[in-house]
A and B are shown apart, each in its own frame.
Chain A
Amino acid sequence: MHFTINGQRYEADVDIRTSLLDLAREHLGLTGSKKGCDHGQCGACTMLVNGRRINACLTLAVMHQDDEIVTIEGLGSVENLHPMQDAFVRHDGYQCGYCTPGQICSAVGMLDEVAKGWPSHVTGDLTDVSLDDAEISERMSGNICRCAAYPNIVDAIREVAAKEEVSA
């Protein structure tokens, strides 16, 4: 099988049952994405596939051979942090850090959704999308943090959204 992850081509000979998450972690050495539950319940495995955030544990690698996949390793590097990574560091948006790669990938995908005008469960008028704290919390509910770093995660995301002028 062949894959494009973080702009790099990979060839891998893996069992057909391999999830996209296990492909990255166990076969390609991309261990940034985490496995919390392996059942779509925690968001630790969140990756961006063709720009959309998904749970990499609930999809087969074989189904993504023609896709552009981005993991936390592809968003930024230690020397050159992605703005969302930088904001998480400055706002202390984590404690143990296990959920963090998933939170950051999810937040990046989420801001794109807001920019496209996608409403959420807490949006009043579905045609008028703006991003307040209630919106951030709802839109990030697919990422569980056992350490409950939620207030600082929301602070970090709010700051990036404001800088990028995502929505109003």
Chain B
Amino acid sequence: MKPFDYARADTVEAAVAGGGRFIAGGTNLLDLMKLQVETPEKLVDISRLDLNRIEERDDGGLTIGALVPNSDLAADPRVIERYEVLSRALLAGASGQLRNKATTGGNLLQRTRCYYFYDTAAACNKREPGSGCDAIGGFNRIHAILGTSEQCIATHPGDMPVAMRALDATIVTQKADGDKRRVPIGDFYRLPGDTPQIENVLEPGELITHVELPAPVANARHLYRKVRDRASYAFALVSVAGVVAVEDGRIAHAALAFGGLAHLPWRNPAVEQALVGQQPGTAAFEAAADALVEGARGFGHNNFKIPLVRRTLIASLRDLTGEASA
């Protein structure tokens, strides 16, 4: 690990004025610092900031402090009752020990698990802009099939952010100059394009303070389905977060987000448009799956993700709409 300066921030103001890299749970940042993939010169410890509460909002939603640990968020009775998809996604991630340490803000900002990103001997535009991408043409089983660029085909590895995308979460931040802003999660992450090292819209020194969840959709079913290489303690190959409501035999609401497919938690309005107003059933589910994989591209080892996510979506929709799986 490279040497660094360390300071603990006691207030949000001190944190954003600190001029260093934030460390919360440390479970992603320290992992990468040990490998010298990340080499911050200064760490600002935000773990003691007063941002660890989950609070009611006037609209029936919740405001989640950026430091709420993943375990506590998953087990919160209000989250379980109103946003089961979020609890399920969190519980599908990492291990009990890691969830006890991992924070809401840190989980949103965890970096890709691309093997070449982790290997400082490999070419990687994300780690070292302009050096190339060893994953394209290399071993790319876990890589993206949607929204890729010539520069980078990495995925965002998180589970929680996929559920938050389906729930239309808003990310609340505070900048170094004290300015606050609210960014819908759909505008928060960036596709790799020509600058895969820039993963979201945060400015240097901008702190995530909260995540807001709007009031839950009435009478909806929630599901998080994660497909992975072992039954537990593994990242998703593909995952689906779904919030679907059926009224009078027709799909009235559908929010579907996907993990393991892209550089960000993926959501495509065409998928939901193929469902809303339709009767639940194979025809509508197939149309939604077609819309999802339109334009999908495999890179060799990850071609299997295209049929896999089709099937995973269709199976998820069966569960979400109560159609018995044949």
Q: Which residues of A contact B (CB under 8 A)?
A: 16-17, 19, 38-40, 43, 46, 52-55, 58-60, 62-63, 106, 109-110, 113, 116-121, 123, 126-127, 137-143
Distance between Cα atoms of A17 and B43 in the complex (Å): 11
Given the complex, which residues of A lie within 8 Å of B100, measured CB to CB?
A: 52-54, 109
B1 touches A17 (CB 8 A): yes
Given the complex, which residues of B lie within 8 Å of A38, measured CB to CB?
A: 34
B27 touches A127 (CB 8 A): no
A110 touches B96 (CB 8 A): yes
* Chain B nearest Cβ from A103, distance in angstroms: 11
B30 touches A141 (CB 8 A): no
B97 touches A53 (CB 8 A): yes
Given A60-B26, A141-B233 in contact, is the A16-B96 Cβ separation under 8 Å? no
Q: Which of B94-117 contact A (CB under 8 A)?
A: 94-98, 100-101
Given the complex, which residues of A lie within 8 Å of B97, measured CB to CB?
A: 40, 43, 46, 53-55, 106, 109, 142
B96 touches A58 (CB 8 A): no
* Chain A nearest Cβ from B128, distance in angstroms: 21
Q: Mark B67-87, 1 if CB is under 8 A from A, else 0.
A: 000010011010011001001
Given the complex, which residues of B lie within 8 Å of A43, measured CB to CB?
A: 95, 97
> 7 pairs across A/B with beta carbons < 8 Å?
A53-B96, A53-B97, A58-B31, A60-B6, A63-B8, A119-B74, A142-B94
B74 touches A118 (CB 8 A): yes
Is B131's beta carbon under 8 Å from chain A? Answer: no
Query: Interface size (B, Cβ < 8 Å)?
Result: 36
B91 touches A59 (CB 8 A): no
Given A55-B98, A119-B91, A126-B84 in contact, is the A39-B45 Cβ separation under 8 Å? no
A141 touches B75 (CB 8 A): no
Given A54-B101, A126-B80 in contact, is the A39-B31 Cβ separation under 8 Å? yes
Given the complex, which residues of A lie within 8 Å of B84, measured CB to CB?
A: 126
A113 touches B71 (CB 8 A): yes
Distance between Cα atoms of A142 and B45 in the complex (Å): 25
Distance between Cα atoms of A39 and B31 in the complex (Å): 6
* Chain B nearest Cβ from A46, distance in angstroms: 6
Q: Mark B40-84, 1 if CB is under 8 A from A, else 0.
A: 000001010000000000000000000000010011010011001
Distance between Cα atoms of A143 and B96 in the complex (Å): 9
Using CB atoms, name the residue of chain B closest to A62. B6
Is B245's beta carbon under 8 Å from chain A? Answer: no
Given the complex, which residues of B lie within 8 Å of A110, measured CB to CB?
A: 96
Distance between Cα atoms of A140 and B96 in the complex (Å): 7
Distance between Cα atoms of A99 and B92 in the complex (Å): 23
Given the complex, which residues of A lie within 8 Å of B26, measured CB to CB?
A: 58-60, 63
B80 touches A55 (CB 8 A): no
Given the complex, which residues of A lie within 8 Å of B88, measured CB to CB?
A: 121, 126
Given the complex, which residues of B lie within 8 Å of A138, measured CB to CB?
A: 231-232
**19 extra interface residue pairs, beta carbon distance < 8 Å, beyond A43-B97, A126-B87:** A16-B6, A40-B27, A40-B95, A46-B97, A55-B27, A58-B31, A58-B98, A59-B27, A60-B23, A106-B97, A109-B100, A119-B74, A121-B88, A121-B92, A121-B232, A127-B80, A127-B81, A137-B232, A140-B96
* Chain A nearest Cβ from B237, distance in angstroms: 16
Distance between Cα atoms of A138 and B80 in the complex (Å): 19
Using CB atoms, name the residue of chain A closest to B233. A141
